[in-house]
Structure 1
C-alpha cells in the first residue's frame, strides 16, 4: 500500500464516499438507549443545505461502519433541516495517528476527519504526543468494542503442534526469534515440505498487532511483564538498555515478511498454499483476533483479498500477554463547533452502541465492550472465552514512541564501514573468557552481530594498527558494498564462486592477527573521508570504530586537530557519523567521545569486554538524531 490513506471498494456502496442520510434519535428513545428512525416525508425532502460527517476508521472496521451508515440512507432522515451524509475512509490506525501528530497537514493525508475510530486506544495515546494533535483530540473517546491480539497460524501447522490443546505463547515465539535458521523445523513434525518455522510481522508503525508483538517481545527480553512496559514510563530504561535494541533487531531480522499493512500480510497469506514448493510460507503471525475472523469468514478485509488457496487461520491465545485492545469512537474538536455535525456524530455513536451496531461489529469478529464473543468458537478458529483475557492498561505514549523509534532505526538499511583495532594490545587475555584475547572476544561478538545486517545494507571492513601500508595505519580488508553481493576477497571485487560480502567480512576478521601500535587519529579521518566519497543518499552513513587503546602513533595529528577537521568537513546535508566503541578499561573514552560528538554520533563504552555484543548491537542500530 502507499503512504497515503487507503480506501477499499467492493460491489455495492463505496467505502470511499458513502452518502447516507443521517437519523434523528427520538429524545425518549435516545435517553433509554433505543433508536427510532424517522421516515421520509415531503417536508424532509427539501433540505436547507447538506452536511457531510467524515469518519476515518481502521480498515478492519470499515465494513461494519459502512453497514451502519447505510442504515441512515435507508431511513431518509434529516438533521435540523439539513440533508446529512457520512463519508467513511479506511486509514491504517498508525498512519492516522502520525497524521494527527502533525495536525493532519501531510499533503497525502487528504481531508481531516470529524470522527476517528482506530482499532486500539494505543494509537489515541500515541497521537496525543504533540500540541497540534492535542488541539484536535479533546475527546477521550467512547468505548464501542474490543479485540485482543493473538498468534495466528495456518490450521494444519497449529494442529501439528497440538492445537487447540496446545496454545502458542509469546515465549515460544521469542524462542524461535532467538534461534532462527532451522530450515528443517517442520520435518520433526512429519511435514518436511513446510521447511522452517517462519514468522510474519505487520509493521508496528501502522499495525496494532505489530505494535503489540513488539511490546510483548521486548518486555520478555527485558524479563518484565508486558503490562509494566505500557503502564509505567520506563523510557530511559528502554533507550539505555541495549537489550532492547538486540531484541528488536532480532525480531526485525528474523521476520520473513514485514508488510506495510495488515491487509498486505493477509493478501500474501491468501495467495500462498502450504504445499506449494515455491511458496514463502508463514508459520505464525501476530494478528488482531478480528482480522483472523475476517480472513476466515471472507468478510471485511477478508472479502477484499485476492482469490487463492491460502490456509484457514486459527488463533493461539498466549497466556503470557493476552490483553483486550479497546476500540474507541473519538470526535475531533472541530465537530463541537458545528451543531449539525455534532448531532450526526452523536447519532452514529448511538447506533454503534445499539443492538444493530453490536451485531454489525460482532459480524466482523469484534467483541463487546465487556469482551464477550459467544459467536466465536473452534469452528471459526477462535475461542469465545479464552483464559486470562484482561483489559490492556493505560498506555504511556513515550514508551511506545521509544519502541517505534528503535524499530525505525533497526529497519533502516545502512551504509556502514566497520573499523577494528588490530594493535598489539588486542592480544591481551579477557578475564572469565577462557583466556581468549580481546580481539577474539570482539571478533566473536562482531560475527554474531553481522548476520543481523539486513539484505540491502552496505558493509565494509577495515583494520588498523600502525604502518600497515607505508605510512598508512589502516588496511581495507573488504570493500564497501551490498552485504548480499558476491565478492572474491579483500579487494571487494566481484568474482565467480565468491561469497556474500557479509560472509567475506567474517572470513577476513578470522585472519586478523594483533600487532603494532594504535594509529587511531589518522585512521579515523581516513575512514570518515572514505565514507564521504561513498555516501548513500537517504541512508544512515556511519563509521563504526572499535578500539581498546589510545592513539600511540607519534607522527599523527593531535586530537584537537582531528576534531577541528571533522567538524569542518562534516556536512549536515550529507552527514557521515563516526560511532566509536571504547573496548576495555584502557580505551581513551574521552577522546572517543569527542570524535563521535564532532559528527553528532554516540560513543559507547564497553568496559567489560564480555559485553561487546550488546554494545555492537547498539552501535549498529543507533538512530540518527
Structure 2
C-alpha cells in the first residue's frame, strides 16, 4: 500500500516514489568488480550480477573462478558472469527506477544483504502499479545473524548470567549501569546501533527489538507496533543508545584504533554494539584495524569482541540470490548454475573466511572460535515481517528513538564569502543545514551559535548564541541563519571548547548530547591555539558523554584536525571538502541523532 505522506525524518536524497524507499543503505557507489575477460573459451551467455558491497569483492573473485572453470550449462554452452557492487538500498532504489543513474550494467541477478530489500522493492513496484520484480522467497548464498557484540570481559560476564534477552542486556541496565552485573566501576551502560534508515543491520536490530517485545518469532503485525507495552519496551532499549551510527564499520575502525593506541582500554562510552556476526569476526582478525604500508590487515585488537545471542532469538541477514525479470531463459539457466557453484563447499569456505555462516546457517568452527560459542540449542531466528509492517515500523521509529540535545556552531568567518559555483560557501552551507535540520525530530532540543572572531558587529567575543538551546524551532533557526553576517577569522578551538562546556552544563542523561560544528577552515585565533589542550578538554567522560560532530566544508578545511577533535569526544567528522558532498554529509550527521 502506498503511503499518503513522505516521512519528515527520511533522508531527502532517498525519498523517492512517495517515500517508499525506507532505507538508503548508503550514498556512495562502489567501483565495479572486474572479472577476467580473457577467456579460454567463448561463452554465449552473459550474466550480470549486482551484489551488496560487503561481499562484492569476494563475488568478483568467485565469478572469475567460475568463468575460467570447465562448467557447462544444461542444454549446452557456458556462461560468463560479471559482478558489480552497489549497496543494497541504492540497488533497490535503482531497480525501482529502471536502473537509471548507476553507470553499471543492468543486472539479471541481484544479491542484496537481506530479503528485507526484496520486500521493500515489492512495495515500490506495487506503488508504481507494475508487476513485482521480487515476488518470491529466495535461496541464501550465506548468512550472518545479528548479535550484541561486547568487549570480551563484559561479554563473558553477561554470558555467565545464563540466557539473557534483548531487554535484559540493552534495556534494563541503563542508569544503574554495570552495577546490576556486579561491576559498578564499569559505569553506565549504553550501546551503539546503526540508524535503521541507513543500514540493513540497524533495521534488523529494530525488527529484533520488536520481536523481543511481543515474545514471538514470526507474524509481527501493525497492531503489535501500536501496543503500549511494545512501544514502552522499544523506547526503553532506544533510551540506552549512545548515538546512532551511519556506518558500523567506521565505528569499529575507530574502536580498533582506540584499542591499539590504548593497550586495550577504550575511552568510548559504549558497552555494546548491535551488528552482524561477520563484523565481529573481521574486527577480531584485525581486518578493521589500522594497516601499515604493505600489510593486508592490521594487528588484532588487544581486547577482542564476543557475540552475545539474546535468548528470544535474533534476526538473520540472509543474502538472497534473486533472479530478476530481466533474465532471459538461457540467463536463468546460467543463474541456476552459478548459484549451485556458489553453494559448493569450496566456495562456501571462502564465505566462511570472511565471517559468514554457510547457505544452510552452519557456522564454521573458526568463526565460533573467533566470536564465541552459540547457545547449546542453536540460534532461534525471527521471520522477516511483512514489508508493509517494516514500513510502518520505520514510520513510528522516529517517535521512539532516543531524543537529542544538539548545539550547532556555524562558521561565519570571512572565508565563507568565497564562491562555490554561483553561490558563496555560506549560502551552500546554510542551504545544507536547513535541509538537514528538517530531518530532526520535533522533540529534539536544538540551539544555534555563530562563530568567527571578534568583529565590529560582535566585539564581545568570537562566538555568539543565536538561538538558545531549547525545543526545536526550525523556522526560527532558519531565520537566524539567513540573517547572519559573514566576517572575521576562524576561532575554531575557542568555540568548540565553549560549546562543549555549554552542553556539559546543560547535560541531559535522557538524551544524546552533541555539538555540531560546520566550518570551512582551520583555527586562526591566536588567543586560543592549543590543540592538545582542546583535545583534553573535550575528551569523552563516559558518565556524561558530550560528543562533537564536525563537517569539514570546502578544501580549506583542516579535516585531519576536525577528525582528531571528533574522535577525542567519541564523535565523528564528516568530509565535505568537496562542497557537492555537503548535503550527503548533513544527512549522515543528522542520522546520528
- Output the TM-score relative to the length of structure 1: 0.53
Out of 112, 116, 133, the position equivalent to 2:110 is 116
Equivalent residue for 1:483? 447
Cα pair distance change 1:505/1:342, threshold 3 Å: closer
Maintained 8 Å contact 1:135/1:333: no
Deviation at 1:155, TM superposition (A): 1.7
Equivalent residue for 2:123? 129
**Structure 2 CA distance for aligned equivalents of residues 172 and 360 of structure 1:** 35
1:144 partner SS: coil
What whole-Å deviation, never above 9, does each CA across 1:573-615 have from its counterpart, x for those lacking one? xxxxxxxxxxxxxxxxxxxxxxxxxxxxxxxxxxxxxxxxxxx
Cα pair distance change 1:69/1:531, threshold 3 Å: closer
- Residues 1:357 and 2:343 are matched in the alignment: no
Cα pair distance change 1:245/1:104, threshold 3 Å: farther
Equivalent residue for 1:175? 171
Report the count of equivalent residues: 409
Deviation at 1:389, TM superposition (A): 1.6
Out of 12, 30, 33, the position equivalent to 1:6 is 30
Out of 344, 347, 354, the position equivalent to 2:337 is 347
- Residues 1:140 and 2:149 are matched in the alignment: no
1:75-94 superposed matches below 5 A: 75=69, 84-94=79-89
Cα pair distance change 1:239/1:71, threshold 3 Å: same
Out of 374, 389, 403, the position equivalent to 2:393 is 403
Out of 186, 202, 214, the position equivalent to 2:206 is 214
**Structure 2 CA distance for aligned equivalents of residues 482 and 494 of structure 1:** 25
1:4 partner SS: coil
**Structure 2 CA distance for aligned equivalents of residues 241 and 387 of structure 1:** 32
Deviation at 1:397, TM superposition (A): 0.7
Cα pair distance change 1:156/1:499, threshold 3 Å: farther
What whole-Å deviation, never above 9, does each CA across 1:160-191 have from its counterpart, x for those lacking one? x25466565311343258649x6x87997386
**Structure 2 CA distance for aligned equivalents of residues 387 and 21 of structure 1:** 49
1:471-550 superposed matches below 5 A: 482-483=446-447, 505=470, 533=479
Cα pair distance change 1:57/1:91, threshold 3 Å: same
**Structure 2 CA distance for aligned equivalents of residues 178 and 270 of structure 1:** 24
Equivalent residue for 1:100? 95
Cα pair distance change 1:81/1:370, threshold 3 Å: closer
2:311 partner SS: coil
**Structure 2 CA distance for aligned equivalents of residues 393 and 482 of structure 1:** 39
Residue segments in structure 2 that go unaligned for 5+ positions in a row: 1-24, 411-443, 452-457, 484-593
Equivalent residue for 2:246? 260
- Residues 1:151 and 2:115 are matched in the alignment: no
1:222-621 superposed matches below 5 A: 223-225=213-215, 227=217, 231-234=219-222, 238=225, 244=231, 247=234, 251=238, 254-273=240-259, 276=262, 279-280=267-268, 282-298=270-286, 307=298, 310=301, 311-335=303-327, 337=328, 339=330, 341-376=331-366, 379-383=369-373, 386-387=376-377, 389-407=379-397, 452-456=404-408, 482-483=446-447, 505=470, 533=479
Residue segments in structure 1 that go unaligned for 5+ positions in a row: 8-14, 23-39, 412-448, 459-479, 488-492, 507-526, 538-625
Maintained 8 Å contact 2:205/2:315: no
Maintained 8 Å contact 2:158/2:181: no
Deviation at 1:272, TM superposition (A): 2.4
Deviation at 1:93, TM superposition (A): 2.7
Greater CA drift, 163-172 or 210-219:
163-172
Cα pair distance change 1:238/1:484, threshold 3 Å: farther
Deviation at 1:405, TM superposition (A): 3.0
**Structure 2 CA distance for aligned equivalents of residues 254 and 93 of structure 1:** 28
**Structure 2 CA distance for aligned equivalents of residues 187 and 354 of structure 1:** 44
**Structure 2 CA distance for aligned equivalents of residues 270 and 17 of structure 1:** 31
**Structure 1 CA distance for aligned equivalents of residues 180 and 85 of structure 2:** 38
**Structure 1 CA distance for aligned equivalents of residues 397 and 27 of structure 2:** 18
What whole-Å deviation, never above 9, does each CA across 1:196-235 have from its counterpart, x for those lacking one? 4331112323433211221233455xx412535xx2431x
Cα pair distance change 1:136/1:152, threshold 3 Å: same
**Structure 1 CA distance for aligned equivalents of residues 304 and 163 of structure 2:** 17
2:82 partner SS: strand
Equivalent residue for 1:542? none
- Output the TM-score relative to the length of structure 2: 0.56
Cα pair distance change 1:374/1:207, threshold 3 Å: same
Please tell me whether Structure 1 or Structure 2 has the larger radius of gyration of its CA atoms: 1
What whole-Å deviation, never above 9, does each CA across 1:93-140 have from its counterpart, x for those lacking one? 3343343344434x3574442211223222222221122685432553
Equivalent residue for 1:201? 193
2:245 partner SS: coil
Maintained 8 Å contact 1:68/1:360: no
**Structure 2 CA distance for aligned equivalents of residues 301 and 101 of structure 1:** 37
Cα pair distance change 1:127/1:305, threshold 3 Å: farther
Equivalent residue for 2:552? none
Maintained 8 Å contact 1:486/1:501: yes
